[in-house]
Structure 1
Amino acid sequence: MAEKLHIFIIAGEASGDILGANLMRAIRQTHPDVVFHGVGGRKMIVEGLDSLFPMQELSVMGVAEVLPRLLQILSRIRQTAHEIERVRPDAVITIDSPDFCFRVVKKLKSRVKYIPCIHYVAPSVWAWRPGRAEKIAKFLDHILTLLPFEPPYFTEHGLPATFVGHPVVERLENRGEGDRFRKLHKLKPDQPVLCMLPGSRMSELSRLLGKFSETADIVLRNRHNAVIVIPTLPHLKECIDKFFVGKGINPILVYDEEEKFDAFAASTIAIAASGTVSLELAMTDTPHIIAYKLSPISAWLAKHLIRTPYVNLINILLKRPVVPELLLDKCEPGPMSQELLRLMGNKEARAAQLMDFREALIKIGLGDPETPSQRAAKAVLSVIEQRGKKAP
């Protein structure tokens, strides 16, 4: 009987938790006895992970957010590297969160060379700090990319790279039911619904929720019967509840993952923090804009280091401004409400966005016979095989 595989897997934020859970499930399809170790969130725990510590400790972004927790993060890096040495897994899979994950891998590789380290979600070297590709090629063994144009940035430096596609396209069969959401919340079929998505991190919420709320005020003055819905995560519930006390807005708050997609499908329009959520909205045919505001230090760095004309993934894939981007100084209620009201009242603009969404989604795997998670699992198992662990 073949020896069980042991895989150490690390995710540092909500999007990585989804990727990790899907990948764990895909690996288990061919290796049902696989044992997972590592750090992850609720979804990875459901798939059988006993997280070394709460994943939320790593969900920080930007220089100003990291500095106050630096000592704790450094302690978790040491703890994680030591645990990998103790477990001696067949492979280490790190998912996104490069500031944490790469430090873990470098510390590990300084002492243990033979454990293959695979990173899932390539750093955006095409957008900023292109020199990172050469640096990470020195300590990673393989990289899995979500976007089709990314592998050459790494293979030119000797790091094997595999395009696996974006996991958002795996929701093709379950993209949400708008009618179900409207019936549940007693909304009329033609009642406008504004979906607000101010981010999955507490730091994002502190910067964006106020701006989004003021934007909603303006929209409501122009669309008196509109309803506000906010899909969010359970650990942010208390913060959002407190924020809206006495504000005169009573949003529908959604915490369940499936109901979130129902809410997307029911929405007339959406405003979202930049990130993967834009692709999720595209999957549910929800017209939207993105907006984002950083701390002053992080904003200064972004202005001087980012090399791409767009930050939204749909715009990047199609090389044109399909989704309006209201970033930094433009992330204000006036410009944001203007864009939302324009899209709400312009059928041609909405239809054009939906057509462009489909074009972008095809580029990241929509319609392919294998899911991105299955392709990622194949790549991981291939790396393990090449290191001497044959599949059972």
Structure 2
Amino acid sequence: MKVYITAGEPSGDKLGASLMEGLKARVPEVQFTGIGGERMIGQGLESLFPMDEISVMGITEILRQYGKLKARIRETAEAIIAAKPDVLITVDLPEFSLRVAELVKARSDIRVVHYVAPTVWAWRPKRATKMARHVDQVLALLPFEPPYMEAAGMRCDFVGHPVVTEPQAGDDDVAAFRQRHDLGDAPVALILPGSRRSEVSRLAPVFGDVVARLQQERPDLRFVLPAAAPVAPMVEELCAGWAEPPLVLDPRKLGEDMAAEKRAAFAASDVALAASGTVSLELAAAGTPMVVAYDMGWLSREIIGRMLLVDTVTLVNLVSETRAVPEFIGKACRPAPIADALLSVLEAPQAQVEAMALTMERLGRGGPHPGDRAAQAVLEGLGRG
């Protein structure tokens, strides 16, 4: 069996490697070519070129590198057509993946599987119809996504979310973390302002004001901020000006210990203030109640606000079919109501605890590994399941 598989960023490399491992367990003689990072190469991939050459994010960066990206798209499509694989699997990165798929389908009948469904349930639903012209099957991370893809004419399999496989800190880890940072038995609030410079610069002043308000209401509350590596210097500088500077977990200083320290911080916290995104699922996996807040530039706020099809953007709310997680998006991202919501959640977290547990169950916790489910779905789509 010959599989051509592509990924363009670390999260996709992780998904791709897990899927490859699942395929190897079922088809020992499977051969992999494509594009990937260290994890996929470790599973036996021969990468056409370094994965980071197609890791582009945002409209501005895509336009700046459009010539190089377009050349890599053509090169990849030519390599796929020449290889004649049994299946092409593209992992996330739709700006690259779906353009490659379109070129491949125009000149061959190679089966195309796309891993990670686009968020057509939230905005731009016509993307599914356009995608169906050159994608045969979609592997979805969220349980409510298949009907949207199937309505456009594609097979879609819910395979589970990788968050359910992530390791969690235990009681001993939490106790050691509290002792290491002299937290004692104090309640802890986790502050998560995002991982991109644009969102951190916009959210940090708001979050700093929230921290000051919380400290006034709850002087016993301690604050911990695990900084993302790309924005660690920026976070350190911005937080220094807060009325109540948090304990910043800095990946530059912690190195390889950062992941374990972050897990312990999540588990040790009683409540979290988080930027919108998949971090809400990480918090749910750790059982940490939260409030979500996010803002963007005026133009993006206006455009996205008009295009949104859902009344919540928090995945815990969507998956659990509740509205247990308070969220403050766009114009609503103001310190006073955010602080009030955090105090309320801190005092009465039970509704969220139940919603988070239901979310993890629905995402596949306790069931087969998502990589195994994805591999099985690919083989069934090929008639080899």
Match of 1:159 in 2: 154
Q: Out of 211-220 and 304-313, give the one that drifted further.
A: 211-220
2:55 to 43, 54, 58: 58
**Any residues of structure 2 matched to 1:1-392 within 5 Å, and which?**
5-12=2-9, 14-31=10-27, 34-40=30-36, 43-44=39-40, 47=43, 52-55=49-52, 58=55, 60-61=57-58, 63=59, 66-85=62-81, 87-111=83-107, 113-171=108-166, 174-177=167-170, 179-184=172-177, 185-245=180-240, 247=242, 249-253=245-249, 255=251, 256-344=258-346, 346=347, 349-368=348-367, 370-383=368-381, 385-386=382-383
Looking at structure 1, the residues matched to 137 and 33 of structure 2 have their Cα atoms a distance apart, in angstroms, of 19
Aligned-CA RMSD value: 3.0
Contact 1:105 1:117 in 2 (8 A): yes
Cα distance, 1:266 vs structure 2? 0.8
Looking at structure 2, the residues matched to 350 and 141 of structure 1 have their Cα atoms a distance apart, in angstroms, of 43
List per-residue Cα deviations over 1:91-149 (Å, max 9, x = no partner). Answer: 322223323321222133233x2332211121222222222222211100210112223
Letter in 2 for 1:361: M
Show structure 1 runs of 5+ residues with no match: none
Q: 1:72 to 1:56 in 2, by over 3 A?
A: closer
Q: 1:220 to 1:57 in 2, by over 3 A?
A: farther
List per-residue Cα deviations over 1:53-88 (Å, max 9, x = no partner). Answer: 354863524x56655554554444344434544555
Q: Secondary structure at the match of 2:310?
A: coil
Q: Out of 21-30 and 295-304, give the one that drifted further.
A: 21-30
Looking at structure 2, the residues matched to 197 and 36 of structure 1 have their Cα atoms a distance apart, in angstroms, of 38
Contact 1:26 1:373 in 2 (8 A): yes
Looking at structure 1, the residues matched to 31 and 234 of structure 2 have their Cα atoms a distance apart, in angstroms, of 36
Q: Secondary structure at the match of 1:118?
A: strand
Letter in 1 for 2:279: V
Identical residues among aligned pairs (%):
37
List per-residue Cα deviations over 1:187-228 (Å, max 9, x = no partner). Answer: 334222222222333443343334333332332343334333
Letter in 2 for 1:148: P
Q: 1:106 to 1:356 in 2, by over 3 A?
A: same
Looking at structure 1, the residues matched to 302 and 286 of structure 2 have their Cα atoms a distance apart, in angstroms, of 34
Q: Secondary structure at the match of 1:230?
A: strand
Q: Secondary structure at the match of 1:114?
A: coil
Q: 1:215 to 1:55 in 2, by over 3 A?
A: farther
Cα distance, 1:301 vs structure 2? 1.7
Looking at structure 1, the residues matched to 38 and 207 of structure 2 have their Cα atoms a distance apart, in angstroms, of 27
Cα distance, 1:339 vs structure 2? 1.6
Looking at structure 1, the residues matched to 32 and 240 of structure 2 have their Cα atoms a distance apart, in angstroms, of 42
Letter in 1 for 2:343: L
Looking at structure 1, the residues matched to 62 and 205 of structure 2 have their Cα atoms a distance apart, in angstroms, of 22
Cα distance, 1:166 vs structure 2? 1.8
Letter in 1 for 2:111: P
Cα distance, 1:299 vs structure 2? 1.7
Q: 1:21 to 1:310 in 2, by over 3 A?
A: same
Looking at structure 2, the residues matched to 263 and 32 of structure 1 have their Cα atoms a distance apart, in angstroms, of 40
Contact 2:293 2:329 in 1 (8 A): yes
Letter in 1 for 2:248: I
Letter in 1 for 2:349: R
Q: Secondary structure at the match of 1:110?
A: helix
Q: 1:69 to 1:32 in 2, by over 3 A?
A: same
Looking at structure 2, the residues matched to 6 and 145 of structure 1 have their Cα atoms a distance apart, in angstroms, of 19
TM normalised by structure 2 equals 0.84
Letter in 1 for 2:364: G
TM normalised by structure 1 equals 0.83
Cα distance, 1:19 vs structure 2? 2.5
List per-residue Cα deviations over 1:345-372 (Å, max 9, x = no partner). Answer: x1xx30121012112222222333x122
Looking at structure 1, the residues matched to 54 and 210 of structure 2 have their Cα atoms a distance apart, in angstroms, of 31
Looking at structure 2, the residues matched to 100 and 196 of structure 1 have their Cα atoms a distance apart, in angstroms, of 33
Letter in 1 for 2:146: P
Show structure 2 runs of 5+ residues with no match: 252-257
Q: Out of 331-340 and 175-184, give the one that drifted further.
A: 175-184
